[in-house]
Amino acid sequence: MRLQQTHRTERFGAVRIHELQRVVELDSGADHPVERDGHARGSQIVTSAELRAIEKELIVVIPCMNETRRVIEGVLSGIPHDCLIVLVSNSSRQPVDRYDIEVQTLEQFCRVAERPAVTVHQRDPGLAAAVKAAGMPELIDPDGLVRSGKGEAMLIGMAIAAMTGRRYVGYVDADNYVPGAVNEYVKAYAAGLHLAGSPYAMVRISWHSKPKLLDGRLFFSRRGRTSEVTNQFLNRLIGEYSGFGTEMITTGNAGEHAVSLELGKRMRLAGGFAVEPFEYLDLFEQYGGLLDPPHPEAMAASVPVLQIETCNPHFHDNKGEDHVRDMRMQALNVLYHSPVCLPAVRSAILEFMVAQGVLEPGQEPPRERIYPPVGSMALDLMYDALSAEATTFRELARPLVAPPSPLPAAYP
Ligand code: GDD
């Protein structure tokens, strides 16, 4: 893969946000980087061997809630072979057991593609027991089950990823219609994680365009309706500190992103759709140098955030206006309540929310849930409880005929 070379970064303490870099070539040719000076031409080559080395260490978590089987099949087929797939589902189980259909689809895929996978249902009482055993009661709702929400599914995925001994975790939505786009996202994660040059790294995808039908024609929109707003306020926050306006952040809502587990295990995740914007805020809070740093070792190493613009169009299920508005508000809620948010940004958020009619003048935005880091969980106890009590927890390991052994040994 060949990426455009960029030089500009925005600093927020130890956090280094890199300017958006384009995928120039999906496939950059034979692996002779020494003979070819990509740097001199304004590009960086990540060879297929380098991509593969990261993919072997990468877990791809798919949060899934009531998506179509055929679409899920496409997503699975786009994930590079060496990545370990973890499906965290919150799909309905009645009147039709959609989770059962998903597991059958995954099993069939793994059998034919000869690869392992792990799957669990978010609302399995056994998963809740495992989460409690691991010491994260915050994730449990009044019904005694793991809370619904995309951020919550991502947290479970991160915890499972951390049990495997692999080094990276990435996320891919289950409603992506284009397997080639999924493949490109994961390759871009691998390329970014390879280039990041720090054990504490994050890669966020900004898709090139989102196709929409307008008056019977396909229109390739460049911007997402949620991201536009989130990016604007995150950039405003950085600008208020530096005194210089910036448009550096283009991935405030990036659903497609990956992190090294060294960083991921230290991150606090937010619930629902606040999860992606809060990742930026968590980095600013923990590594921005404004509050007491809980991880001085990461502060010393620096925390790069690479933003990569992919070539494939992002073609996914459209869940409607209300859904977009909710996502936008959840992003602003976490930004408003962040201890690093400055008064000028807070006032601008309030003004925006009142203008949008989602807040009355004088009201405060609601708080979103923020969970402790996965690194604080007793993952060995979680694995034992998952194996013993979670009936939906399945390890589809290779070879499939052998009884699966515990996660850490099964997925070298
Ligand atoms: N397990 C689980 N649990 N999965 C969920 C849940 C949940 O409670 N809620 C949603 N999902 C899954 C969906 O099935 C889908 O695969 C993925 O999470 C994203 O949810 P969507 O509802 O399809 O979100 P979207 O496509 O509108 O928004 C996406 O893009 C935004 C940026 O534009 C998401 O990735 C957002 O998180 C992102 O900010």
Residue labelled with tokens 């689809």: 105
Residue whose CA lies nearest to ligand 1 atom number 6? 150
Asked whether residue 411 is assigned to any structural domain, the reply reads no
Q: Looking at the CA of residue 67, tell me the nearest atom of ligand 1.
A: 14
Domain boundaries, position 371: 2-396
The alpha carbon of 173 and the centre of ligand 1 are apart by a number of angstroms equal to: 6
User: Band of the pLDDT at 170, cuts 50, 70, 90?
Assistant: very high
Please tell me whether the overall predicted TM-score, pTM, comes out greater than 0.85 for this model.
Answer: yes
Residue labelled with tokens 């196709």: 211
Report the candidate in 60, 314, 305, 79 with the shortest Cα–Cα distance to residue 203: 305
Asked whether residue 129 is assigned to any structural domain, the reply reads yes
> Which region among 34-43, 62-71, 180-189, 372-381 has the lowest average model confidence (pLDDT)?
34-43
Can you give the length of the chain in residues?
412
Residue whose CA lies nearest to ligand 1 atom number 31? 255
Can you tell me the mean pLDDT for 305-326? Answer: 85
Say if residue 294's pLDDT is above 90: no
Q: Which ranges of 168-320 would DSSP assign to H, the alpha helix?
A: 179-195, 225-242, 261-264, 275-287, 296-301
Please give the Cα distance from 329 to 349 (Å, whole number). 10
Asked whether residue 412 is assigned to any structural domain, the reply reads no
Asked whether residue 216 is assigned to any structural domain, the reply reads yes
Residue-wise pLDDT for 390-412, tens only, equals 999 999 975 444 444 455 544 54
Residue whose CA lies nearest to ligand 1 atom number 8? 149
Please give the Cα distance from 45 to 5 (Å, whole number). 9
Residue from 99, 150, 178, 316 whose mutation best tests the ligand 1 pocket (most atoms within 8 A of CB): 150
Asked whether residue 389 is assigned to any structural domain, the reply reads yes
Residue whose CA lies nearest to ligand 1 atom number 28? 255
Q: What is the CATH number of the domain that holds 183?
A: 3.90.550.10
Question: Domains in the chain: how many in total?
Answer: 1
Residues with CB under 6 A from ligand 1: 63-65, 67, 88-90, 122, 148-150, 153, 173-175, 224, 226-227, 253, 255, 273, 276, 316-317, 319, 323, 327
Provide the mean pLDDT of the chain.
Answer: 91
Say if residue 153's pLDDT is above 90: yes
User: Band of the pLDDT at 216, cuts 50, 70, 90?
Assistant: confident
Asked whether residue 385 is assigned to any structural domain, the reply reads yes
Residue whose CA lies nearest to ligand 1 atom number 38? 255
Asked whether residue 179 is assigned to any structural domain, the reply reads yes
Residue-wise pLDDT for 241-264, tens only, equals 999 999 999 999 999 999 999 999
Asked whether residue 139 is assigned to any structural domain, the reply reads yes
User: Band of the pLDDT at 39, cuts 50, 70, 90?
Assistant: low
